[in-house]
Amino acid sequence: MNKQRTFLCLILALLGLAIVAMACKPQFQPGTFTDDAGRAVTINKAPQRLVSHVPSITEMLFAIGLGDKVVGVSDWDKYPPEAKSKPSVGDYFKPSVERIVAQDPDLVLTDGYSKDLPRQLDSLKINYAVINPKDVDGIFRDIDLIGKMTGSEVAAQKLVQSMKDDMADVVSNVKGAPRVKVFYVIDAKTDPNNPWTAGPGSIHDYLITTAGGSNIAATAVGDYVQLSIEAIVAANPDIIVIADYPGSTIATSIEAFKQHPVWSRTRAVQNERVFMFNSDLSNPTPRIAQGLREMAKILHPDLVK
What pLDDT, on the 0 to 100 scale, is given for residue 4?
57
What pLDDT, on the 0 to 100 scale, is given for residue 257?
83
**The CA-based dihedral angle spanning residues 241, 56, 159, 145, taken in that order and rounded to the nearest 10 degrees:** 130
What pLDDT, on the 0 to 100 scale, is given for residue 251?
78
| Tens digit of pLDDT at every position of the chain (305 positions) | 555 555 555 554 555 544 444 444 557 899 999 999 999 999 999 999 999 999 999 999 999 999 999 999 999 999 999 999 999 999 999 999 999 999 999 999 999 998 899 999 999 999 999 999 999 999 999 999 999 999 999 999 999 999 999 999 999 999 999 999 999 999 998 898 999 999 998 999 999 999 999 999 999 988 899 999 999 999 999 999 999 987 677 878 888 888 888 888 999 999 999 999 999 999 999 999 999 999 999 999 999 98
Q: Burial of 150 by CB count in 10 Å (0-12 exposed, 13-18 middle, 19+ buried)?
A: buried
What pLDDT, on the 0 to 100 scale, is given for residue 20?
43
The answer to whether 224 and 197 are in contact (CB under 8 A) is yes
The answer to whether 28 and 46 are in contact (CB under 8 A) is yes
CA 91 to chain centre: 19
The SS3 assignment for 152 reads: coil
- Degrees (nearest 5) of the Cα angle 139, 141, 144? 110
The SS3 assignment for 204 reads: helix
Residue 209's closest CA among 273, 265, 143, 135? 135
Domain(s) of CATH 3.40.50.1980: residues in the chain: 31-151, 176-299
Which CATH fold would you assign to the domain 31-151?
A: Rossmann fold (3.40.50)
- Degrees (nearest 5) of the Cα angle 68, 286, 20? 55
What pLDDT, on the 0 to 100 scale, is given for residue 19?
45
CATH of domain 176-299: 3.40.50.1980
H helices, E strands: number in the chain: 11, 12
The answer to whether 176 and 212 are in contact (CB under 8 A) is no
| Alpha helix stretches (DSSP H) within 151-250 | 153-174, 203-210, 229-235
